[in-house]
Amino acid sequence: MSVTAERIKEQRKIKKLTQTALAELVNSSRSSIAQIETDKYNVSFAMLSLIADALDTTVDYLQGKTDNALKTAHNTSDNRDDKKHVALDDDELIMSFEGKELSEDYKNSILAFVKMLREERK
């Protein structure tokens, strides 16, 4: 079995999802998920991206390019940049670009878009 198939199955089980539940999250069928997990079907990058999001991990992890299953980077002592990672679960989304704060209108547009995406996933 490929690394990708193994990791999808492993992460699905860690998240306590059935194949059916994962299929619903990615707008697919249970049989498609089963075929992906048993290497009978080569998953497209688009589908892999949806699966990674549903399993709260990264495409790189699912493909075996990294052993870090965490979706967001955590601050570590060797992290020398001042970038902050904001979880999409936060009520506020604070963003800046090249040291400049974004306008309130732009922030509100981004927040509205994120809220719309959340609602579509439910």
Domain with CATH 1.10.260.40 in the chain: 3-62
Report the share of the chain in percent with pLDDT over 70: 71
User: 59 pLDDT exceeds 80?
Assistant: yes
pLDDT tens for each residue of 70-103: 876 543 444 444 444 444 444 444 444 445 566 7
Higher pLDDT, 18 or 1: 18
Long-range contacts of 44-53 (CB under 8 A, 24+ apart): 48/4, 50/25, 50/26, 51/8, 51/22, 51/26
Q: Say what the pTM is.
A: 0.58
Phi-psi region of 30 (alpha: psi -120 to 50; beta: other; left: phi over 0): alpha
Q: Which CATH class is domain 3-62?
A: mainly alpha
